[in-house]
Amino acid sequence: MTQRTLRRFLTQTLSDNSDLVFLIEDIAAACRIIADRVRNAPFDGDLGTTKTENVQGELQKPLDLIANDVVERVCANSPRLAALVSEEVEEVTWLKPPQKGDFVLYFDPLDGSSNLDVNLSVGTIFSIMQITQDGQRDILRPGRNQICAGYAIYGPTTMLVFSLGQGVNGFSCHSTTGEFRLTHSNLRVPETTTEFAINASRQMFWDGAIQSYVADCVAGVSGPRGQYFNMRWTASMVAEVHRILMCGGVFLYPKDRENAAKGGRLRLMYEANPMAWIIQAAGGDATTGDTQILDVIPTEAHQRVPVILGSAQEVDTIRRYYRRQG
């Protein structure tokens, strides 16, 4: 059977919201262009690092800036798009005076960019919310208010994975035609897992709950978990989340002694919220360790939060380690 194109899926699913259809298609078009720039970076001299830092104090890669400009340029004329919040830009970009129902697009234009020079998978993460009333510049709302969120992963295949709240679907981009077609429908996160993803080099900073959780996992079949675990870490959240969506697992970037003062490592509005939305729409779970990520009330556009997300039963097991820690 011919796989549905993105356009057909959107017009069938969002028949009463053409403006949202246009915005998601614009995002897909931007991701297709970014995929091409990532693929051809060695020929275009776009690898390496610039001398500029982003608002997070991180050295920007040329493709971070290119990807940001592509999203801004392709989406800027999307009907009812009122504002852009980008990891690479400190201020909110207002495109029009906000009216009730207008869209706000939060995005990390190129996540995992530390992997670019070593040719590993990177991605674009996006989240869409709406203005609640005319003139209200209320862009800091909890993630539960998202109306659409997802990511593009630039791997062996470029895929666009997103949810409108019910279910998660994956669209693969055909390398010749550039069409996005529905190749992975109704993705579900397996409830249980024996695989965890964490940056183990930070063990010296972890609190007792995470120390105990990881120790019990690596104790294997003779340990408290009574089974062997596998560990992954690619330093690209998009790649970790995609693997969890496809075959289960749990991803941890917890609060620790080193990042606690900043609130954590990952950003709420354009990393934690969209990934939590996707994982929960696929039957998984997502917490900061204290509270559901989607319930966190934002205080500023680039704020950071701890992130623990993935297979629901494993996330619940980690909650029990936190409760035991008290």
In the complex, which residues of this chain contact ligand AFP (CB under 6 A)? 58, 111-114, 199, 235-237, 266
CB of 67 to ligand AFP, least distance (A): 11
Give whichever of 253 and 321 is closer to ligand AFP, judged by the CB atom. 253
CB 166, min distance to ligand AFP, A: 26
Question: Quick one: 71 or 131, whose CB is closer to ligand AFP?
Answer: 71
CA angle 141, 146, 150 (to 5 degrees): 130
DSSP per-residue codes, 252-287: EE---TTTGGGT-SEEIIIIIHHHHHHHHHTT-EEE
Cβ closer to ligand AFP: 205 or 298?
205
| Residue 265 and residue 259 in contact, taking contact as beta carbons nearer than 8 Å | yes
Of residues 163, 316, 151, the one with CA closest to residue 237: 151
33 and 18 Cβ atoms separated by less than 8 Å: no
CB of 4 to ligand AFP, least distance (A): 30
Kind and range of the H or E run holding 208:
helix 208-218
Separation CA 9–CA 36 (nearest Å):
24
Q: Which is nearer to ligand AFP, 80 or 242 (CB)?
A: 242
Name the minimum Å distance from CB 320 to ligand AFP.
24
Q: How many beta carbons lie within 10 A of that of residue 68, not counting itself?
A: 23
For the bound state, the minimum distance from the C-beta of residue 199 to ligand AFP, rounded and expressed in Å, comes to 4
CB of 292 to ligand AFP, least distance (A): 20
- Comparing CB distances to ligand AFP, the nearer of 110 and 312 is 110
- Closer Cβ to ligand AFP, 75 or 266, answer by number: 266
Residue nearest ligand AFP, CB atom distance: 237
Reported residue count of the chain is: 326
Question: Residues 6 or more apart from 43 whose CB is under 8 A from it?
Answer: none
